[in-house]
Structure 1
Amino acid sequence: MDKKQNKENSNIRLAFFLNLGFTIVEIVGGITINSIAIISDAIHDLGDTLSLGLAWFLGYYSEKKEDKNYTYGYRRYSLLAALINTTVLIIGSFIIFYNAIPRLFNPQSTNATGMIGFAVLGILVNGLAVFKTKGGHSLNEKVVSWHLLEDVLGWIAVLVVGIIMYFKDIPILDPILSIIITFYILYNVIINFKKTILLFLQAVPENIDLNKIIKRFEKIDKVISTHHTHIWSLDSEYHVLTTHLVVDKSASLDDLIKIKEEARKKIQDLNMEHITIEFDFNEKNCTLGKKL
């Protein structure tokens, strides 16, 4: 496991333990101050904790080296974690809508002092976790960061409402802020959900232009054309490329070695984990698609 991947897994592990500890505090505190709102949020955070634990485990598991069963390694388990957590976030958002919308028509008073206390603690705990995960490059860590940001924004809303309600009882503010924040989070989560699904379906990663890569290859000396060029991603960071280069019939063995070296240099900035380059001297001689 390289340093960057180890750091990302360490950040998710820290977020997991922070969330777990805060969930326990919420359950005890909610029972103590007799607040169903805090207890409900504790249940929500328990779900977050399970998701973070899954992200941590699958993120670590994804760093296993290739074997006879997974010849490309286990990196796609990181994508699986991102997909599961994104799904949990989407379901959670609709649960919030389900509970918040009725309160627009039937606002309920809450314990303002308790809300303020738990909101401050929630902002500190989840804010630290967001700070540690916000710079992640993998989809897994990005989804985790959005998961935690949702909690931070939620607690900020609780704090604002708690302060206002400490001086004046306006309970409808709680569901209004919850709905606004949930819309914001849901919008960004759906974007990441779409990216994750596309990567699962082996679409070309969004930051890679396939046509530009083909043009780079075709500018190499003695390369006539390219075909069967395919790119897909293992985990949104590390990619796989296969291509056939049609080369001039006069190309010698030394020329072929140089062409392959040059082709690899052309894509060295794209985090290609596995590269397969095959040579053809004539497109008609390509064996792909031909019956044996």
Structure 2
Amino acid sequence: MGHDHAHHHHHHSHNRLGITFLLNIVITVAQVIGGVISGSLALISDAIHNLSDGVAVLLAYIADRLGHREKTAKHSFGYKRAEILAAFINSLVLIAISFYLMIEAVDRFANPQEVDFKWMLGLGFLGFVANGFSVFLLHDDHDSNLNVKAAYLHLLGDALTSLAVIVGAVFIWAWGWTWIDPLVTLLISIYLLVHTYQLLKESTEILMQFAPSSIDPDVVKQKLEGVAGVKQVYHIHIWRLTDHSIHFEAHVELNADLQLSQTRSIDEAMNEVLHHDFNITHVTLQFEYSCQNGGKGC
């Protein structure tokens, strides 16, 4: 029953990502055409933003499919890291686009051009409605993993930037302030840059197998060494396979030379600490005993 529910949920998630991707492509084509005709850099920047998010959603869709493939002997972790890789690639592309748009906006300040506000207004509104609908579609799944969350947040950003284009068009219509167009572009670019930095940082940390920032290895070591029967814990490794899956491995030196069956209670106690206090999902412990203790059998 639980498996059927999960499969049903994943199927809906795939469908929503697919619909969102198609919407983004339609908006992008319309805004590029409108931006060229109207001369609006803000509209073109919003179109590029939409295109990048369309690619992000496509990557999210592919990675989501790969992430739910069955494990094999060769691929013992499955393809779960495809989602992190997609988030990493997406963030790099967005940062590159942000810098490009900033350069274009500065150039437009120096060389202002006439802008047709009607195209800006109409296509900005189209982008706002379509992106708002995409955000609504992905809202229920946006906390499921880093990959879908990235796509969701980018689409939310798209809706806000489309709103900025609408506001810019109104200002040009009312007062003829064409400099509003590159200003909106600059604001969209800065928003994109700030918004993407955290995604790049988190996905890089996972790919580099850094310990999660929320977990202090020294605190973990201290708590584990407080378990009865444990002398010391060393060779500690903590890393994230995905944004939700934290792995832990370590060598555990015991106070006594115990048989393997006698280490079960210590193993369970240490697992409980790791699961309960640090939300670590996968644990590998290697028990040892040093003859330097002068124990029996040495």
TM-score, normalization by structure 2: 0.83
Give the corresponding residue for 1:274.
Answer: 282
For residues 229 and 179 of structure 1, the distance between their equivalents in structure 2, rounded to whole angstroms, comes to: 45
How does 1:145-156 map onto structure 2 within 5 Å? 145-156=152-163
For residues 93 and 26 of structure 1, the distance between their equivalents in structure 2, rounded to whole angstroms, comes to: 18
Counterparts in 2 of 1:284 and 1:190: CA distance versus 1, 3 Å = farther
Residue 30 (str. 1) matches residue 41 (str. 2): no
More deviation, 38-47/173-182: 38-47
Residue 237 (str. 1) matches residue 231 (str. 2): no
The structural deviation recorded for 1:227 is 0.8
For residues 210 and 240 of structure 1, the distance between their equivalents in structure 2, rounded to whole angstroms, comes to: 12
How does 1:1-292 map onto structure 2 within 5 Å? 2=6, 6=10, 9=14, 11-26=16-31, 30=34, 34-37=37-40, 38=43, 41-42=46-47, 45-133=50-138, 135-269=142-276, 270-282=278-290
Aligned length: 283
Counterparts in 2 of 1:233 and 1:5: CA distance versus 1, 3 Å = farther
The structural deviation recorded for 1:253 is 4.2
Counterpart amino acid of 1:276? T
Decide whether the 8 Å contact of 1:104 with 1:175 is kept in 2: yes
Any idea what SS the aligned residue of 1:225 has?
Answer: strand
Unaligned runs of 5+ residues in structure 2 are 294-298
Decide whether the 8 Å contact of 2:132 with 2:156 is kept in 1: yes
More deviation, 4-13/186-195: 4-13
TM-score, normalization by structure 1: 0.85
Task: Map Cα deviations across residues 156-185 of structure 1 (whole Å, 9 max, x no partner).
Answer: 111001112222211001111221232132
Counterparts in 2 of 1:25 and 1:188: CA distance versus 1, 3 Å = closer
For residues 101 and 166 of structure 1, the distance between their equivalents in structure 2, rounded to whole angstroms, comes to: 22
Counterparts in 2 of 1:67 and 1:185: CA distance versus 1, 3 Å = same
More deviation, 17-26/75-84: 17-26
Any idea what SS the aligned residue of 1:232 has?
Answer: strand
Higher helix share: 2
Task: Map Cα deviations across residues 133-173 of structure 1 (whole Å, 9 max, x no partner).
Answer: 46425322232234223322321111001112222211001
Counterpart amino acid of 2:95? I
Decide whether the 8 Å contact of 2:53 with 2:151 is kept in 1: no
Give the corresponding residue for 1:290.
Answer: none
For residues 108 and 129 of structure 1, the distance between their equivalents in structure 2, rounded to whole angstroms, comes to: 32
Decide whether the 8 Å contact of 1:220 with 1:262 is kept in 2: yes
Counterparts in 2 of 1:284 and 1:237: CA distance versus 1, 3 Å = farther
Counterparts in 2 of 1:40 and 1:157: CA distance versus 1, 3 Å = closer
Counterparts in 2 of 1:263 and 1:114: CA distance versus 1, 3 Å = same
Counterparts in 2 of 1:173 and 1:146: CA distance versus 1, 3 Å = same
The structural deviation recorded for 1:187 is 1.7
Counterpart amino acid of 1:125? A
The structural deviation recorded for 1:130 is 3.1
Counterpart amino acid of 2:76? T
Instruction: Provide the alpha-carbon RMSD of the alignment.
Output: 2.8
Percent of paired sites with the same residue:
28
Any idea what SS the aligned residue of 2:233 has?
Answer: strand
Counterparts in 2 of 1:163 and 1:278: CA distance versus 1, 3 Å = same
Unaligned runs of 5+ residues in structure 1 are 286-292
Task: Map Cα deviations across residues 77-112 of structure 1 (whole Å, 9 max, x no partner).
Answer: 111100110011011111211221111122222221
